[in-house]
Amino acid sequence: MAAIFEVEKMKTKTISANDIERQWLVADADGRILGRFASRIAQILRGKHKVNFSPNMDMGDHVIVINAEKIRLTGNKENLKTYFRHSGYPGGVTVVDIQQLRRSHPERIVINAVKGMLPHNRLGRKMLGHLKVYAGADHPHRAQTPKVLDI
């Protein structure tokens, strides 16, 4: 009777670094809302969309973001949002509003939003290296034959 109830034990398979398959994806930011767009990009960079996701490994895909200058903000953020930096020296505070950042470096708006949604450690910095952001519609990654990411 004990033989009837025997169940084969399953083992959890862990993925190794050699088994990770990365894709190149291109996402168009034209008319997209910044927060929702950045959260989806962060999930893909982290690899959470994959079946064999492991939180301690960098297994995400490469993401190319185009038209970063055309990203939208909701509410009154276009007038009120600021970015704060400190150099570490006395009086080293730098505050930049989003309008000034959009004029000078519009790709940094998307980079900062995605960076805040990734882990704040060396793994997150490595994941952020897989993000390529361009202000216009052109990008130099045609050789990787990126797939279109519909967000």
Mean pLDDT of the chain: 94
Query: Does pLDDT of 93 surpass 80?
Result: yes
Residue 129 lies in a domain: yes
Structural domains counted in the chain: 1
d(CA 124, CA 130): 10
CATH number of the domain where residue 30 is located? 3.90.1180.10
**Mind listing the pLDDT tens digit for each residue in 20-79?**
999 999 999 999 999 999 999 999 999 999 999 999 999 999 999 999 999 999 999 999
**Mind listing the pLDDT tens digit for each residue in 66-82?**
999 999 999 999 999 99
Distances (CA, A) of 57 to 40, 42, 64, 80, 112: 18, 14, 21, 37, 22
Domain span holding position 116: 21-72+107-148
d(CA 126, CA 121): 9
| Confidence class for position 97, pLDDT limits 50, 70, 90 | very high
